Structure formats: structure tokens, C-alpha cells
Amino acid sequence: MTDIKSPLPGGPKPAVNPLFLRDEELRQAIELLFFGYRDFTAEPDAILARYRFGRAHHRVIYFIGRHPGMTVSGLLHILRITKQILSRVLGQLIERGYVVQRQGTSDRRQRLLDLTEKGRGLEEQLSAEQRARIARAYREAGGEAVEGFRKVMLGIIGNEEDRARFDRPAGPARR
């Protein structure tokens, strides 16, 4: 697109947006993220409401499901919330039988967290909606677009540590 860098093959003067990253394009990106995230979270939120859970419960369930044996401090680090609010949300999930704790073996101060069967059921139900939405979007956009989406999203994620999660540990394994 927009051939900056390529010196315009003899045509009339460039006239193509000299800045390229113009305000309109950047604002559209802001809005894509806003509307996208709004819609991306709407369905799980509706399910959660039926359980009298909130979005925070979803995130906790999601990451424990993704990383069984996750510690409390691991969750705090990912979610960037305070231990007080995590403690409450986690306490509710444990009390209602979605999550279990066990003591760490090498460090017995740690509480290792796992989903119960019930927890895996809810996790599946919640993320199924999101996976279906992504799958549809990916399918319609095509493989090349998906690569572009990943690149841009990785660029938006600020720190290297978080980016490192996406080194395709079990990714599409293409090539």
C-alpha cells in the first residue's frame, strides 16, 4: 500500500499522504480496538452475569485454565490488579467450586491454582464464544491478514516480557 519509500515511478509529484500515519488512520485504529474489544467481551459478560460473576472472574478462570498450577503472584502479574481484589474474586471461585488450591511443593508458601471439572466447563463455555468469533474473523480475513493482525497486536503490547508469550510455543507450526 501507499508506496512510500518507492520513489514513485516517474508519475506526477507524489501527493500521496506524505505522513502516511495520519491522524484519521490512527483514530480508526483506536476505534477498531474499542469496538472490537467491546464486542469481544459482550458475550462472555452476558454468560457471566447469569452466574453472578464479572469479567474479573473470567480472566482468572481463563489464565488458570491456560496455565494450570499458576500461582497467585503469577495472576497478579498478568492481570495487573491488586491482591485484594484478586483475593476476593479467587475466594469466590474457590468457594463455589470452580478453582482449587494446593500447596506448592518446592515453595510451600505458594498456592498453586487449578480449575475443577466445573471450572473447566465454565471456561470452555466462556471462551468458546470468543474462539468462535475469532475463528470466523480469521477465516474471513485469510492467513496473510492473520499474520498482519498478530504483528500489529504484538507491536501494541508494550513490554517484551508479555510479547514473549506469543513466541508460538505451540503455534500453527507452519514452515
101 binds, among a copy of itself, DNA, none (CB under 5 to 8 A by kind): DNA
Size of the site for a copy of itself (CB under 8 A): 72
Interface residue with a copy of itself among 8, 34, 101, 121 (CB under 8 A) is 34
Residue closer to DNA by CB (options 83, 131) is: 83
Q: Residue 142, SS3?
A: coil
Q: How far apart are CA 60 and CA 50, in angstroms?
A: 17
Measure Cα distances from 17 to 12, 14, 23, 31 in Å: 14, 8, 11, 21
The verdict on 38 binding a copy of itself (CB under 8 A) reads: yes
Interface residue with a copy of itself among 92, 110, 116, 127 (CB under 8 A) is 127
Question: Using an 8 Å Cβ cutoff, are 31 and 22 in contact?
Answer: no
The set of cell numbers assigned to 57 is 472472574
Residue closer to DNA by CB (options 110, 127) is: 110
- Counting every residue, how long is the chain? 175
Grid look-up 508494550 returns 158
53 binds, among a copy of itself, DNA, none (CB under 5 to 8 A by kind): DNA
Q: Which residues pair with 70 in a beta bridge?
A: 113
Q: How far apart are CA 138 and CA 132, in angstroms?
A: 10
Q: How far is the CB of 76 from DNA (least distance, A)?
A: 7
Q: How far is the CB of 107 from a copy of itself (least distance, A)?
A: 26
67 binds, among DNA, a copy of itself, none (CB under 5 to 8 A by kind): none
The residues in 8-27 that bind a copy of itself, with binding defined as CB under 8 A, are 16-17, 20-27
Show Cβ contacts of residue 106 under 8 Å, excluding neighbours closer than 6 positions: none
